[in-house]
Amino acid sequence: MKIVKLVVITLMAINISQAQIKEKSLLWEVSGNEMESPSYIFAILKFIPGDDYYFPALAKTKFAECEKLSIETHLDHHARHELNKAAHLDNHESIEKYLTPEEYNKLKSIFNEQLSIPEYKFNLVYKKFKPVMLSTTMTRLTLGDNIRFYENELISMAKELGLDIVALETIEQEVEALEKLPLDVQVKALKHTIANFEAQLSDYKKLVAAYKLGDLHQALEYTLHPMENDEGFKQHFIFDRNKEWLNKMTEQMHESATFFALGASHLSESQGLLKMLTDKGYTVKPMK
């Protein structure tokens, strides 16, 4: 009878933790496993319209209580150089090589007419980008100057408060994950973007709206739309990196209270970091 009760209690605990993880929240507290003080995870987007930037008062309070900020990757001078190299096609190739004349002309038209990028700059810079970088850049450019970058904002706050700033991976590890996405898959996704650019912009607005509601599942879904929900992208660029980050996160949390600023797409689902931390015995709960 005692064994049955124990099983029931265990199953109830699992169900409660799964229900909590499905709750809508951007800020999550992580405690337990003999940590001296809780740490926090805040879901971010890489970039967001300036007037949609959202960092609630409770997050500011918990941020100030921590001793360090942990981000995905340090973007110092070396990292920016490596990322810039990884963003470009090999051997100075042009994206024109991978598109039909009609697709290429439409791409140039989008840059010129909708993104206000003159042809000389398109030829000098953007046509040499890898497809996956080009698609993301197109969405970002629509925001113009009305844009804020979460990591930059939080790094500035951390410096003002004297928090240490650490990272979960090197730029080389991020680039390695990105390069696991086959070029033909990237090209297919870019072709979809070119043919459906207005729909992609609509999806981005829905992504921002879902994000502001703390709906991490929907945020992941809309993040994957430009890649046509490619399973390889999801596995290599999101879930495999989660596995690599998990031990680093636990080390950082046990050293001192840590405020993690991580992409919203890394947090939800069965292979998301919230569930993975729960499976390791931590108490993970949404902060309202």
Asked if the structure places residue 55 within a domain, the reply is yes
Give the model's pLDDT for residue 6.
37
Asked if the structure places residue 7 within a domain, the reply is no
Give the model's pLDDT for residue 29.
98
Domain count, the chain: 1
Tokens 């804020």 sit at which residue?
148
Q: What is the tens place of the pLDDT at every residue in 162-212?
A: 999 999 999 889 888 888 889 999 999 999 999 999 999 999 999 999 999
Asked if the structure places residue 215 within a domain, the reply is yes
Asked if the structure places residue 17 within a domain, the reply is no
d(CA 70, CA 274): 16
Give the pairing type, strands 39-44 and 283-286.
unpaired
Asked if the structure places residue 1 within a domain, the reply is no
With beta carbons less than 8 A apart as the criterion, state whether 29 and 127 touch.
no
- Cα torsion 111, 114, 115, 117 to 10°: value is 50
**pTM for the whole structure:** 0.89
Asked if the structure places residue 86 within a domain, the reply is yes
With beta carbons less than 8 A apart as the criterion, state whether 262 and 273 touch.
yes
Asked if the structure places residue 63 within a domain, the reply is yes
Identify the band that residue 10 occupies on the pLDDT scale cut at 50, 70 and 90.
very low
Q: What is the extent of the structural domain holding 280?
A: 30-286
Tell me the β-bridge partners of 167.
71
Asked if the structure places residue 10 within a domain, the reply is no
